[in-house]
Amino acid sequence: MSEEQKLTKKQLKAQQFKKSKDERETDKEDKKRKREEEEKQKLEQDQTSKKKRKTRRGKGGKGTKKGNRFIVFVGNIGRETTASQLQAHFKASSPDHIRMRQDKGIAFLEFDGDKDHKNIQRRMDVALLQHKTMLGDRKINVELTVGGGGNSATRLEKLRTKNDKLDIERNQRMAKLISDSRGNKKTDQDSESNGAEKNEPKKPSSVPAGIHPDRARFIK
């Protein structure tokens, strides 16, 4: 047989065993390096793809919602509570959208800042004043929330600070409402009292006409 004839599998295997230990180690290192390069390229491609998706979202791509949204958290609601019941309960504040999480017993009231820029703060204040009100047989919690989701220490601290401030403002508003209500009630009572006095008939004077009251005492 000619030496140029291709080697059989058996001959190739035998030749492989004849290689020195160094050559086998070199082949192993080459294969390992090749795998590492492939993994590195794959990782870089994944990172590039994620960056592109993030950029598209930031420029109005898929999943982007335009406008400023302000969110109020509602907790301790019954799992059977519906969005229409919540809408009716918060009728005075008229949230633009309600997101329900019935399995968790929570909901989020969304207020569109672009839709009603002038009145949005007042509407949110009205919603927040319904903290600890009864919805069905439950006393609900109504609190401010911050965007981002998750339970990171930073986010929880932001929530705590905002809601502590909200509690103070809410107590001040309630105290003012009570004070104003009492003031209005007193004014109404005074007006009624003055009106009653005006309507009372004047008692006829026992002093004869044309006589000074001091002299009239002696006459009596």
Residue 208 lies in a domain: no
- Local structure of residue 76 (DSSP, 8 states): S
- Local structure of residue 105 (DSSP, 8 states): T
Residue 199 lies in a domain: no
Residue 114 lies in a domain: yes
Mean pLDDT of 38-46: 64
Residue 144 lies in a domain: yes
Domain count, the chain: 1
Residue 16 lies in a domain: no
Residue 165 lies in a domain: yes
Residue 97 lies in a domain: yes
CATH of residue 114: 3.30.70.330
pLDDT band at 30 (very low <50, low <70, confident <90, very high): confident
Tokens coding 124: 């949110």
Residues 6+ apart with CB under 8 A from 90: 109, 127, 130
Q: pLDDT digit string (tens) for 142-154? A: 988 755 555 566 6
Q: pLDDT digit string (tens) for 101-131? A: 989 999 999 999 888 888 888 999 899 999 9
Tokens coding 160: 């705590």
Average pLDDT, the chain: 73
Q: What is the distance between the alpha carbons of residues 107 and 212, in angstroms, rounded to a whole number?
A: 81
Residue 77 lies in a domain: yes
pLDDT band at 11 (very low <50, low <70, confident <90, very high): confident
| Residue 4: per-residue pLDDT | 43
In the block, tokens 């209005």 appear at: 184
Q: What is the distance between the alpha carbons of residues 216 and 152, in angstroms, rounded to a whole number?
A: 91
Q: pLDDT digit string (tens) for 179-215? A: 777 777 767 666 666 666 666 665 555 555 556 666 6
| Residue 5: per-residue pLDDT | 52
- Which residue segment(s) compose the domain that 146 sits in? 69-171
